[in-house]
Chains A and B, each alone.
Chain A
């Protein structure tokens, strides 16, 4: 069954090529093609989850010179399997959600599937060169997604997004080269880019080297996550991106950063990780609190959700930073949980812009009467995101904060757990306050409900959107009630890592 891993890359790629040429009259069929290919990928991913995926790695020499070897190597383990599933799931859900997209639908779906290719590649690759290529491939469709389908300031945002993350990945590339060639020297000559070769040499890395290269790679990854103070590309990109783009951006692209920290930094630099530990924890805490505070001040629903992503990804960094099995397990769980929840949040916010015509909180009010279904999904999403027990976010939050507590309980910094509590309060605060102002209270008189916005009067969500969000909230509840469904995948990895 070795063909499954490459097939996970090939299927979206083929789908992207087909939809690319479905221009003109045929554009309206592109969504069916995209649906077929994304569902097929999702099915494959689920099949993969039921199998003994750890043993299914493959590796072919791709480019070879006297000095280095680059491989086309793919592998899955406990860290990536959930991300692969999440990627396939979110692309499928986005295709369903955007079933009524009318603006150049074929290119839209091409970009979606290309993004799926890049994301799958990042999570599946077992070779640093392939990893880097795939990392960069994800940028391009996202750039076009924002600059073609985005809002009024889309060009600024798209360029900012591209340059920001590209600079970060160049720094990361330097780190990768340093690491791979150093490993090559240790391994005796040829620098092999595969994960396995570097991992074999990594215990021999000198201490200074570890600290330096950890820093380079870490910088590359935290910009992607993003972590305060390298986060400002995210709110801009989200505000301008189309809904589907936002869902993928927040749902799986941000996780590339934390995935990279675990996969590259923590796995290879044991000593470096310990040296950088407090930096990780403090940056995580700063992001968590700062993001939450920034949320309170936002007037744009989508921007608020974007900042909440920063806050939640800060939690992931804390979980990684404590360098314990519990921390890593729940950091990965939080990546997964946040992917599920944030998809709903961005769909809801996108619908506000699309169906009501504005996402500005001060203009809204009492919308629960006009759009009960939308209000339900919004409440569900917000409650899940603020960590309501019984839903998936709570388990992750509890686990990460406990891991933080376990780490600091033996130090004189015990009081730092207070930050976790403050962030929980703030999260509840901004979500409830924004709900109060958008859904409840008196029906707003600042919007004309009859003449409305693009596409006629203000209306509740359509059946495709309903379906997409229903799938997501069912999964949020399922993994919240039975978190071991997900942690069973993560646990072997977390136990093996630390």
Chain B
């Protein structure tokens, strides 16, 4: 009974956007409380919708999607109908709840964090409300085009918010350039996604999830047109690479730290980058039922994810900017999620193609691990960003070299950040532990049951786990222990900023336990209904826990995480190991490569400069000189020809007489020729 009104969920924040946009200047705190109210109501509504969905099912069937649609646009030639509607299933419920909840927390925190922004506050609250609209709209969308619309609205909002200080600010130039980069790089993914949608529309005659996610339809197309289906899958994943900042379109995300820290939290925890993971999860049937190339595509997805995980983690190892460390860790964790989805999907596809049902069940577990990790990551990453925001707010700098010894002054922040760090590092029983181990297990299964490539990815994931533990605690030790190295006076924490930290830290610790209360079944029911052909036997939460703790690799990863923490402790707390020994005082080639971010910013610059401006200059020169030159040349030729011909007009009567006579003679000759010759 709540699901019928689920379309209200994205409407609420956009209403806030309009209200704040029009009357923000007159409202208290620039409309901040309106934005909070909108997000909070959306959150409550999401919970109600999820409750309704989970307890009642749709028409008595649990897991089946709830769909309502209305006609939006008709393509006349082929009678394609593009709808606007609502599509609710397990994935939607999970995404709705954590996005709106974390956004609410971030908005509350913003009251404190953005309190000194004065006139800019209405703009901030309006834009974040629109951002939330984009995410919630994307989640409830019933078809790919509607999803794409909200997808792009998020892109716009990220542009606006990353560029929040792109004018009237001391570093305006760099901020605006970061915003532009974010928009353009994600746009590169978006155009791929759009092309993918063309192919999907062409193949399926519809963009509705309800029509596309149908095993029979996909298999029929895979049988007749496998290449196009594969290309469509790859192009859609191209959109994911852009939005979720996977290699090689990852480089916008570290630069996106130019925005306020709350915006970073929003982008990393609740919205934007999660949209890509969501899309991969959502489009999974397109890969799984592509019996010809599906496994290869899923391996590719897994490789991108696994590589991004280790690649991004390496760049976090030696970074001194507190926000950038977190940004790289987001990249790395997103890689985990994509890896899990790729491995899980691979197992499902492999099991389906070979008829081995237990592989399908393992695949579902891997798929669930991806979503589970996304949920956990949302809580601990939101928490970590807000903590870093509190630190930045207190010290006025983002450079960890200027911090240290803040534990005594920022107690709440330090403790909550420690909880978040333990969680992301995978400390046993913290939320990150559960999901990370499931992710790695999925990769391992995929490796042992089919594609050995996944074994490599599993090893990379293990190494990443170690690196994650190391850089997170490096960050924590550098920030909170030792002596204060900065010069600025440290401000005290405010209650309005601490409260969301406490709330989020509770979730960051316990959110892993949702696996014991039916999280897996929610996902499995959803997959079963939307894939619609096999009965998926998913293990109960307790069985999963048992399988985790009976797995030898779990202990390996715990040891790796602990040793990462330990090394960080030795290096940055006890200082018994000097990091300078490893990097030759910052002179080693690899260290430099890391600080240059593997030269990717230069690569982007060169590409855009050469392929964009370079060609543009040539085109412009061609336009001016050749095309316009021809036009001006033609008009010049007409004028010049006129000049030449007018020289024949001497003004002398006798010349004119000569011309007349000559003309008469010629005419007579011509006529004579015609008539005599004619006869």
Contacts and interface: CB of A to CB of B under 8 A. Distances in A.
B56 interface: no
A-side interface mostly:
helix
Contact of A389 (B153, B191, B615, B631): B153
A72 interface: no
B610 interface: no
Contacts of B617: 297
6 contacts: A324-B77, A402-B201, A421-B194, A428-B184, A429-B608, A439-B167
A329 B198 CA distance: 17
Contact of B77 (A290, A326, A367, A483): A326
Given A389-B148, A441-B176, A442-B173, A432 B184 contact: yes
Contact of B198 (A228, A232, A298, A405): A405
B191 A429 contact: no
Contact of B616 (A294, A388, A394): A294
A495 B76 contact: yes
A389 B180 contact: no
Interface in B127-183: 145, 148-153, 156, 159, 163, 166-168, 172-173, 175-177, 179-180, 183
Contacts of B613: 296-297
A404 to B, nearest CB: 9
B659 interface: no
Contact of A294 (B172, B180, B191, B620): B620
B675 interface: no
A326 B76 contact: yes
Contact of B619 (A297, A428, A429, A432): A297
B619 A293 contact: yes
Task: Please give me the 9 A-B residue pairs with the lowest Cβ-Cβ distance, nearest first.
Answer: A440-B176, A296-B616, A297-B620, A325-B77, A389-B149, A440-B166, A326-B77, A297-B616, A293-B619
Nearest to B619: A293
Nearest to A401: B198
B605 interface: no
Interface in A286-341: 290, 293-298, 324-327, 329
Interface string B53-94: 000000000000000000111111110000000000000000
A440 B163 contact: yes
B623 interface: yes
A198 B635 CA distance: 36
Contacts of B74: 484, 487, 491
Interface string A224-246: 00001101110000000000000
Contacts of B615: 293
B188 interface: yes
Interface of B: 71-78, 145, 148-153, 156, 159, 163, 166-168, 172-173, 175-177, 179-180, 183-184, 187-188, 191-192, 194-195, 198-199, 201-202, 228, 608, 612-613, 615-617, 619-620, 623, 627-628, 631, 635
B167 A294 contact: no
A366 B168 contact: yes
A228 B156 CA distance: 31
Given A232-B628, A483-B72, A487-B73, A428 B187 contact: yes
Which of B76, B153, B177, B617 has the most chain A CB atoms inside 10 A of its CB?
B76
A50 to B, nearest CB: 21
A293 B619 CA distance: 7
A290 B615 CA distance: 10
Nearest to B166: A440
B-side interface mostly:
helix
Contacts of A435: 180
A163 B194 CA distance: 41
A335 B72 CA distance: 20
A491 B619 contact: no
A388 B156 contact: yes
B631 A296 contact: no
Interface in A409-436: 409, 417, 420-421, 424-426, 428-429, 432-433, 435-436
B75 A399 contact: yes
Contact of B172 (A366, A383, A405, A487): A366
A406 interface: yes
Given A329-B76, A483-B72, A487-B74, A406 B612 contact: no
Given A297-B616, A329-B76, A440 B187 contact: no
A442 B179 CA distance: 15
A402 B201 CA distance: 9
Contact of B183 (A232, A394, A432): A432
A426 B613 CA distance: 10
B612 A424 contact: no
Contacts of A389: 148-153
A498 B396 CA distance: 65
Given A369-B168, A436-B180, 13 more contacts: A228-B627, A232-B628, A327-B77, A366-B168, A369-B167, A390-B149, A403-B77, A417-B198, A424-B194, A428-B183, A428-B184, A484-B73, A498-B77
Q: How large is the interface on A (under 10, 10 to 19, 20 to 34, 35 or more residues)?
A: 35 or more
Which of B152, B183, B188, B198 has the most chain A CB atoms inside 10 A of its CB?
B198
Contacts of A163: 635
Contacts of A115: none
Contacts of A428: 183-184, 187
Contacts of A368: 166-168
Interface string A347-381: 00000000000000000001111000000000000
A402 B75 contact: yes
A326 B75 contact: yes
A144 to B, nearest CB: 21
A494 interface: yes
A436 B159 CA distance: 11
Given A429-B184, A440-B176, A484-B74, A406 B202 contact: yes
Nearest to A402: B198
A112 interface: no
Nearest to A427: B187
A383 B152 CA distance: 11
Nearest to A423: B191
Interface string A468-498: 0000000000000011100100010011001
Nearest to A422: B191
Contacts of A424: 187, 191, 194
Nearest to A290: B619
A298 B617 CA distance: 9
A395 interface: yes
A329 B148 CA distance: 21
Contact of A232 (B148, B159, B168, B623): B623
B251 to A, nearest CB: 16
B167 A441 contact: yes
Interface string A152-168: 00000000100110000
Contacts of B168: 366, 368-369, 443
Contacts of B608: 429
A271 interface: no
A421 B195 CA distance: 7
Contacts of B631: 160, 164, 232-233
A429 B614 CA distance: 13
B163 A232 contact: no
Contacts of B628: 232
Contact of A442 (B150, B172, B616): B172
Given A297-B617, A442-B172, A483 B612 contact: no
A398 interface: yes
Nearest to B191: A421
A363 to B, nearest CB: 16
Given A389-B148, A398-B145, A494 B76 contact: yes
Which of B151, B163, B167 has the most chain A CB atoms inside 10 A of its CB?
B167
Contacts of B635: 160, 163
Interface string A425-463: 110110011011001111100000000000000000000
A438 to B, nearest CB: 10
A408 to B, nearest CB: 10
B166 A441 contact: yes
Contact of B191 (A232, A394, A425, A484): A425
